[in-house]
Amino acid sequence: MNLSKESVWNELRKVIHPSSGKPVTDAGIVQNVTVGDNSVHVILSFPRSTDPLAGPVKKAIVQVIQSAFGTGTQVTFENVTKKEVTEESNQPEALAQVKNIVAVASGKGGVGKSTVAANLAVATALQGYRVGLVDADVYGPSVPKMFGAEELRPVLKTENGKELIVPIEKFGIKVLSIGFFVNASDALIWRGPMATSALRQLLTQGEWGELDYLYIDLPPGTGDVHLTIVQEVPVTGAVIVSTPQHVALAAVIKGISMFENAAIKVPVLGLIENMSYFTPPELPDRKYYIFGKHGCRNLAEKLKLPLLGEIPIDENICQDSDTGRPSVLEQNTPVAKAFMDLALHVMEQVDIRNKTMEPTKRVIIKH
Ligand code: ADP
């Protein structure tokens, strides 16, 4: 059997937690799993830090993994205490009715992260979900422009003595961006604490209400803003956007290790390849791999992560960004279809994380 996060998760379902009688995956004992070439790292959380069942459960986990993937498979464990877990799920009040928070990240700038975040958010709303988008790209907020909302300003109101920021509503989604509060040209001077505290306000004072998905468009790379967000907001998972170019892919690996770092522990839901190929309109069956062929696909395979989408290069994407209308709104174009498929795959991975869907039922883009 192929060693992957999902196949390991499936095996772990066979281990029953003796006191609850439930699989350890459902009893909240297994918090996360990361898979290497020939190794499995399991993060566990027991109700008590000195749980007498910890030993037998770990033994059973090693047994099922080694019998499924070979006795040479190395299994390591990490314990997080219940306290840490509770703190993690300590959601700010403004986000209390937000079911899922998905961070959209990229290793480096210019790969189309904001374009993907905007279209992914609109695509999710087009499938009937309640969606919000936070533009946390404090150093280059582009969401106001992409939504044709540069002139709009969110309303501030006070409710029960609390100040609230009412998001802009456009194309069926709620949007907040630092760009609504500063001139784009001033954004660059927003450094460190100022940027992070402004962002914190958008997240914790935004009047988000009930949402199925809140997408966060992160700044490129790794840094303070990422840390602030993951520490203060219960992020369900991160998706990482890249082009197929080698230099972009190298930065992806850095991004993944940041999210999987023990201090951050945000699961990476998968990779998104943007600017995958170019299809001339007059040759709809041809694909030209301008930035290299299947770079993200191959990397995703190597890292045992799902490839969530492949978005073609299309001049309309550029124009649509400039005219303030996300491309996914043009129904039935190849680009719109690519974004709709992407949204389905992202939601599917979120369902798997939430354990509302069997990992085996997922549909990953065929390689
Ligand atoms: P990032 O957020 O990673 O810095 P942006 O989303 O701002 O990148 O995109 C950078 C530029 O590339 C923008 O001009 C955008 O319109 C363009 N772009 C993004 N994706 C595509 C694509 N698939 N095809 C054509 N142009 C794209």
Residue of higher predicted confidence among 152 and 192: 152
Contact by Cβ (8 Å): 331, 355: no
Residue of higher predicted confidence among 93 and 310: 310
Q: What integer pLDDT is reported at residue 79 of this predicted model? A: 81
Q: How many CB atoms lie within 10 A of CB 353?
A: 17
The angle at the Cα of 119, spanning 118 to 121, to the nearest 5 degrees, equals: 65
Nearest CA to ligand 1 atom 4: 110
Write out residues with Cβ below 6 Å of ligand 1. 106, 109-115, 142, 220, 274-275, 311, 313-314, 317-318, 321
- The tens digit of pLDDT for each residue in 326-360 reads 999 998 899 999 999 999 999 999 999 887 654 44
Contact by Cβ (8 Å): 248, 111: yes
- The tens digit of pLDDT for each residue in 91-150 reads 678 898 999 999 999 999 999 999 999 999 999 999 999 999 999 987 778 999 999 999
Q: Where residue 187 falls among pLDDT bands split at 50, 70, 90?
A: low
* HSE toward the beta carbon, residue 314, CA cutoff 13 A: 24
Atom of ligand 1 nearest to the CA of 313: 24
What average pLDDT does the segment 255-279 reach? 90
What average pLDDT does the segment 174-179 reach? 92
Contact by Cβ (8 Å): 60, 18: no
Residue of higher predicted confidence among 141 and 82: 141
Instruction: Give φ, ψ of 235 to 5 degrees.
Output: -75, 125
Give kind and range of the element (H or E) at residue 132. strand 131-135
Instruction: Give φ, ψ of 72 to 5 degrees.
Output: -80, -5
Distance (Å, whole) CA 20 – CA 22: 5
Residue of higher predicted confidence among 80 and 63: 63
Task: Give distance in angstroms: CA of 131 to centre of ligand 1.
Answer: 22
Q: What integer pLDDT is reported at residue 362 of this predicted model? A: 38
Helix, coil or strand: residue 93: helix
Q: What integer pLDDT is reported at residue 49 of this predicted model? A: 61
Q: What integer pLDDT is reported at residue 17 of this predicted model? A: 78
- Two structure tokens written together for 329: 């709104």
Q: Please name each of the domains of the chain with its CATH number.
A: 5-84 (3.30.300.130), 93-356 (3.40.50.300)
Task: Give distance in angstroms: CA of 329 to centre of ligand 1.
Answer: 17
CA 44 to chain centre: 22
Q: Which of 41-50, 60-69, 200-209 has the lowest mean pLDDT?
A: 41-50
Residue from 274, 321, 342 to probe ligand 1 pocket by mutation (most atoms less than 8 Å from CB): 321
Q: What integer pLDDT is reported at residue 231 of this predicted model? A: 77
Residue from 111, 113, 115, 278 to probe ligand 1 pocket by mutation (most atoms less than 8 Å from CB): 115
What average pLDDT does the segment 263-291 reach? 93
- The tens digit of pLDDT for each residue in 207-257 reads 999 999 999 999 898 887 887 788 788 999 999 999 999 888 889 998 998
Q: What integer pLDDT is reported at residue 199 of this predicted model? A: 83
> Over pLDDT 70: what percentage of the chain?
89
Task: Give distance in angstroms: CA of 114 to centre of ligand 1.
Answer: 7
Nearest CA to ligand 1 atom 24: 313
